[in-house]
Structure 1
Amino acid sequence: MVNGHTGSVVLSRRWSAFLLVAGAWNWLIWPRFAKAIWDDPRAWDDGSPTSFLTVHAVLIVTALTIGTVTALLGLKGLRAR
């Protein structure tokens, strides 16, 4: 605790809703992109994944993780109100 503050942040209802929508947007967009990458001929070389697939898989997992955390923060902010 610094200067009487616990260090917590209070989000407005509008910012909480924005975070929730932003997180949901990630879950709407990235799985569709993952399907397109999976089906792309550059993703496979004789049945083995290529660096093209690996790099995009890492990007997609990272984006979905960030989207999940963002949505959970928005949900937590809405519930706190």
Structure 2
Amino acid sequence: MVITRRWALFLIAVGVWTWVIWPRFGLAIYRDDRSFADGSPTSFLWVHAVLIAASLVIGSTVGVLGVVAWRRRPAEEFTPEAAVRPKD
């Protein structure tokens, strides 16, 4: 598989988008009336918290992959095999 600079930029954009959208969604869920019952978190809140956490982890991983691809081969194409080969 080859990751070009264009794809690297796309992956970075996805990572940034993830961090723009999901925290705002989390705040909206936290403020929702269904999130707490008698002061205790409900399953509505827990399910969304897990969803948000998983999305942030995946988005961060994708963004880091994009940054690594962008920096690894600035003028060439990036391949995962080149990332693990030691430099001469």
Where on the TM-score scale, by shorter chain, does this alignment land: which range?
Answer: 0.7 to 0.9
Residues in 2 aligned to 1:77 and 1:30: alpha-carbon distance in whole angstroms: 24
Give the CA deviation at 1:10: 3.7
Q: Is the 8 A contact 1:37 1:53 kept in 2?
A: yes
TM-score computed with the length of structure 2 as normaliser = 0.81
**Alignment RMSD (CA, Å):** 0.7
Residue number in structure 2 paired with 1:23: 15
Structure 1 residue runs of 5 or longer lacking an equivalent are 1-8
Residues in 2 aligned to 1:61 and 1:36: alpha-carbon distance in whole angstroms: 15
Residue number in structure 1 paired with 2:56: 64
Residue number in structure 1 paired with 2:68: 76
Structure 2 residue runs of 5 or longer lacking an equivalent are 74-88
Identity of aligned residues (%): 53
Q: Is the 8 A contact 1:24 1:71 kept in 2?
A: yes
Deviations 1:58-81 (A, max 9, x none): 000000000000000000000011
TM-score computed with the length of structure 1 as normaliser = 0.87
Which of the numbers 26, 40, 43 marks the counterpart of 1:34? 26
Give the CA deviation at 1:52: 0.1
